[in-house]
Amino acid sequence: MIYVDNAATTRLKPEVLEKMMPYLTDHFGNPSSIYTSGREAKIAVNSARAGIAAALGATESEIFFTGSGSEADNWAIKGVAHAAKGKHLITSAIEHHAVLHCFEYLGRNGYEVTYLPVDSLGLVNPEDLKNAIREDTALISIMTANNEIGTIQPIPQLAAIAREHKIPFHTDAVQAFGHIPLNVNELGVDLLSVSAHKIGGPKGVGALYIRKGTKITQFIHGGAQENGKRASTENVAGIVGFAHAAALAIRNLDENAKKVTELRDYYIKRVKETIPYCVLNGHPELRLPGNSNFSFEFIEGESLLLSLDMKGIEASSGSACTSGSLDPSHVLLAIGLPHEIAHGSLRISFSEDNTKEEVDTIIAELGPIVQRLRDMSPLYEGIKNKA
C-alpha cells in the first residue's frame, strides 16, 4: 500500500504510542482525583499542556484540550459568538466544514454571516475583509491553510485588520500545525485550533488556544476540567501522545518540510509532463509542503480514487462524491473551477514517510488510469475528434 492521504490523517508514530502506553495501562488515574494515580495523571496533562503551549508560543493557561480539531473550531466560533453582543460574523468561502457548518448553524439562529470570496489561487483579499467589517461584527475566522488545495493565507495581515477594529480573530490551523512555523503572537490571532492526528499523534484529541482576556462561553458543561471551561474527563493518553507528536513535529519541522516539498514538487512536475488536460489547484508557492491537488478534465474523481485504490494507492478526491453528495468540492468551486472540472480532482498529500520511488509508482499508475477513464468519456471523445 502507498498511503498519500496525510491531510486526512497520519500514521501514529511508534514513539508516540510508546509515550502513550503507560497511561493506557498502569497510570490510568483520573486527573481530577486527589490520590496518587490521579495526581500522576494531572502532572502528565499539565506537562503536555506546557508542550503544546511552547509549540505555539503561548502560555500554559491559554491552552485547552478538546476531543478534536472540529470541537476546537466549534468552541471557538460558537463560544465567542454567544459571548458577544454583536450578531455579525465573518469567515471565508473555503473553510473546512467544521467551521462552515458552525457559521451556517449560527446563521439560522439569529446571526448574519459574511462569507469572503477567494481568488483563483485560494487567497482571501485583505481589502475584502476590511470592507466586510461592521460595527456589530463579533468574530472573524479564517483558516491558516486550506485542507484541500493547501493555500496558506496571510493570517498576520488579516488578524491585524481584526485587531485594529477590536474584533476577536480565530484561525483553524489544524492542517498547518506541525508543518509550517506557527506562533500565536507573530500571527496576531486570539484563538487557534489544532489537532493531534494530522502530525503523527492519536485521533480523538485536539486543542484550542484562547488568548488571555478573550470573551468566550463554556462549550461543554458538567465538570470543572480545563480550568472550568470544558467539562469531560481528560483523555490522558491522547493528550500525552499529542504533546509528544507536536514536539517531534516542531523539532523536525525544517527537515520534514524540505523533504515533503521536494516530493510534492517532483510529483507536480511529473504529472504536468505526463498527463494532458490537468490543472494544479491552489497557490504554486504559498501552499503546505506536502499538498498537491490536480483536477483532471473529462473524468470523475470517485472513479479515479477507486481505480487507484485497486492499485494499492490511497489518496483523496477534491470531489465530495465519496461522501454521497453529487456536488463537487465547495473549495474548488470557490476558486472558480466549473463543475465538470472540479468533479475530476485528486488530492495527494505527502508525509516524511513517503519516498521518491512511491511517487514514481503513483505516476506510472495514474497516467494509464486517467487515460482509461477518459476513453469512456463522450466529452473526451469530442476533444479527440477535434484534434
Residue 335's nearest CA partner among 156, 146, 127 is 146
Residue 361, classed as helix, strand or coil, is helix
Question: Among 97, 177, 92, 171, which residue's Cα sits nearest to residue 128?
Answer: 92
At 62, is the secondary structure helix, strand, or coil? helix
What is d(CA 384, CA 387) in angstroms, rounded to the nearest whole number?
A: 5
DSSP 56: H
From 158, 192, 271, 321, active-site residue: 321
Phi first, then psi, for residue 9 (nearest 5°) are -165, 165
Give SS3 for 57.
coil
Query: Where would I find the H helices in 11-96?
Result: 14-24, 36-56, 69-83
DSSP of 252-288: THHHHHHHHHHHHHHHHHHHHHH-SSEEE-S-SSSB-
The closest alpha carbon to 91, from 158, 157, 45, belongs to: 158
| Alpha carbon separation from 99 to 73, 94, 268, 350 (Å, rounded) | 6, 10, 29, 24
Q: What angle do CA 367, 342, 281 make, to 5 degrees?
A: 75
The total number of residues shown for the chain amounts to 387
Residue among 192, 190, 183, 128 at smallest CA distance from 334: 128
279 to 137, 319, 347: CA distances (angstroms)? 37, 14, 12
Q: How many CA atoms within 13 Å lie on the side-chain side of 37? A: 10
Q: Is beta strand 88-92 parallel, antiparallel or unpaired with respect to 345-349?
A: unpaired
No. of helices (H) and no. of strands (E), the chain:
15, 13
Please say if 321 is a catalytic residue. Answer: yes
Here the cell at position 326 is: 453529487
In one letter, which amino acid is 365?
A: E
Catalytic positions: 321
